[in-house]
Amino acid sequence: MADPAAGPLAGRVAVVTGGGQGLGRAFAHRLAADGARVAVADRNADAAATVAAEISSAAGGTAVAVPVDVADEVSVAAMTGQVVDAYGGIDVLVNNAAVFSTLAMRPFDEIDPAEWDRVMAVNVRGPFLCARAAAPVMRHAGYGKIVNISSATVWIGRPHYLHYVTSKAALIGMTRALATELGPAGIRVNAVTPGATRTEIPRATVTPEQERAIVAGQAIKRRQVPGDLVGVVAFLAGADSDFMTGQTVNVDGGAAFH
């Protein structure tokens, strides 16, 4: 890790939900490398602690693990209070936590309503609750960045994940409305739509044949990895994107042009 004290996010505080694994873990590492003090927020407290320890053991990285269920208002309020107590504020919120890898592909009329509700609770209510909790802290500072992690599935209408695709489309609408509402307070809100990204999280529903089909449909002929996304999230978290809000950046290797 380069010297975080000289990084573009030095002095900033960043919260990454779902930071205990996958893309969230990668985002947490990159923001810490850029100088941010990172709160690794995850429902799995052990996973969050592991990632925070990884960051803290690196050269100069600063991180704390914070347990949270983003779908629960009380839990989100407690997380926010813990971060403010630890670091004095919140400058960046990356709304990354989502239900996806555990979902089985099935036709929309076979999706159990309880599963639909759980996906909406985590993937839509979660970012809403986290933004609502962080916004007063950002307003007080007169500055803030909210980065919502949506999905490139919304551009292609991927079948057999109707609840997931719908939830991620909702995040784009949320991004635009929040950007308008929070802009006068100095808070920027943007979204990223990642393509199919290979992480350490097992995905039983993605077969080798499906992986080959994913790559074949992209302009860039290789699997996407977390490193393809961290720079975009870091850009949206940093000062270089200060005059950018309400936007959605698609990063999927050219599978969809947006």
202-233 confidence digits (pLDDT tens) = 766 677 888 888 899 999 999 999 999 999 99
Give the ranges where the chain is alpha helix by DSSP (H). 22-33, 45-57, 73-87, 113-120, 126-141, 153-156, 162-182, 208-216, 227-237
Instruction: Let me know if residue 258 belongs to a domain.
Output: no
Number of domains in the chain: 1
Instruction: Name the active-site residue from 87, 143, 161, 164.
Output: 164
Domain at 134, CATH number: 3.40.50.720
Instruction: Let me know if residue 242 belongs to a domain.
Output: yes
Instruction: Let me know if residue 24 belongs to a domain.
Output: yes
In whole angstroms, how far apart are CA 50 and each of 29, 65, 115, 255? Answer: 12, 8, 29, 34
Instruction: Let me know if residue 119 belongs to a domain.
Output: yes
Instruction: Let me know if residue 240 belongs to a domain.
Output: yes
Domain residues for the domain of 143 are: 4-250
Instruction: Let me know if residue 255 belongs to a domain.
Output: no
Q: Is 87 a catalytic residue?
A: no
In the predicted model, what is the mean pLDDT of the chain? 94
- How far, in Å, CA of 79 to CA of 81, rounded? 5
40-83 confidence digits (pLDDT tens) = 999 999 999 999 999 999 767 999 999 999 999 999 999 999 99
Instruction: Let me know if residue 256 belongs to a domain.
Output: no
Instruction: Let me know if residue 110 belongs to a domain.
Output: yes
Q: Note the pLDDT of residue 2.
A: 64
